[in-house]
Amino acid sequence: MRTKSRLGIMGGTFDPIHFGHLVAAEEALVQFNLDKVIFMPTGHPARKTEQQVTSAEQRYLMTVIATSSNPDFEVSRMEVDRPGLTYTVDTMVELREQYGPHAELYFITGADAVFEIATWKESERFEGLCRFIAVTRPGYDLEAAVSENAQALSRLDIDFIEVPALAISSTDLRARVAERRPIRYLVPEPVAAYIQKYRLYSEGY
Ligand code: ATP
Ligand code: MG
C-alpha cells in the first residue's frame, strides 16, 4: 500500500461535532485530492479557557462515532493526550515528524480562524510546515476579509474553498439541547444519541 502523503487535518473543539465539520472535511478531501482527513479534537483549547468545555474524552468519542462510516476520515488522539494547553503549531510539528518531510499537510479551518492564526505572534512558525485550507460559506465577503488581513495573511500559505451554506455551530447545538429543541438532522444520529445518553449540554450550559 502506498504511504499516504496528502493529509488534511481538521482541528476543532467538536463540542459537539456536527454536519458543518463533516461537510467541510469532505469538500477539502475531494477538492484537494487528499488521501485522508485526520480529525484532531483539541485537548485543552488555549482560546476557550473561559468557557465550560465537555471532557476531551467525550469530544473524542463523539468525533469517532461521527466519522466511523467514512473510510477516508480518521481521528487522532494526539492533542487529547498531550498535557497542557493545546497549540496547533505543536501538533503540526508532531505530524511532520510522524509523516516525514515529503508529506503535504493541509490544516482545514474556518476562514475566520485562519485570520486569527495569521495575526498570532508566532504564526511564522507555520511557514513551510503546513498549508491552510480556509473554509467559507457562500455569500461570505472573502475579498473584504482578505484585504483587511492582507499583511498577516502574506506569511501563510492559504487556499479558500466554499462549502454549502451550513449555518450549524456547536454553540447553537449546545443551546438547542439546553432548551430541549431538536438537533436531529444537524448532527449524525449516533452523536445525538450519545449526547442524550450522557445528558451532555442539558444542565449548567
Ligand atoms: P463553537 O460554536 O463552539 O465555536 P464550532 O461550531 O465553531 O463551535 P469548532 O469545533 O469551534 O466548531 O470548529 C472547528 C472548525 O470547524 C473551525 O475551523 C470552524 O471554523 C469550522 N466550522 C465550524 N462550523 C462550521 C460550519 N458550519 N461549516 C464549515 N466549517 C465549520
Ligand atoms: Mg468555533
In a domain, 103, yes or no: yes
Residue 204 has pLDDT above 70, yes or no: no
Residue type, 86: T
Look at residue 182 and tell me if it is in a domain.
no
CA distance 190 to 109: 24
Atom 29 of ligand 1, nearest CA residue: 20
pLDDT tens-place string over residues 140-175: 788 888 888 787 778 888 999 989 877 899 999 999
pLDDT value for 148: 82
pLDDT attached to residue 205: 46
| pLDDT (0 to 100) of residue 3 | 59
Residue 149 lies in a domain: yes
9 lines ligand 1 (CB under 6 A): no
Buried b (16+ CB within 10 A) or exposed e, 11-39: bbbbbbbbbbbbebbbbbbeebebebbbb
How many domains are there within the chain?
1
Q: Which domain holds residue 50?
A: 6-167
User: If you average pLDDT over residues 48-58, what whole number do you get?
Assistant: 76
The pLDDT value recorded for residue 44 is 83
CATH number, residue 41: 3.40.50.620
* Whole-structure pTM value: 0.92
Ligand 1 atom at shortest distance from the alpha carbon of 112: 20
Distance 102 CA to ligand 2 centre (A): 31
Q: Is the CB of 113 within 6 Å of ligand 1?
A: yes
37 Cβ below 6 A of ligand 1: no
160 by Cβ neighbours in 10 Å (0-12 / 13-18 / 19+) ranks as middle
User: Is any ligand 1 atom within 6 A of the Cβ of residue 109?
Assistant: yes
Q: What is the pLDDT of residue 4?
A: 55
Instruction: Indicate whether 195 belongs to any domain.
Output: no
Of 1-15, 39-53, 69-83, least confident by mean pLDDT is 39-53
pLDDT in tens, 70-125: 999 999 999 999 998 888 899 999 999 999 999 999 999 988 888 888 877 778 88
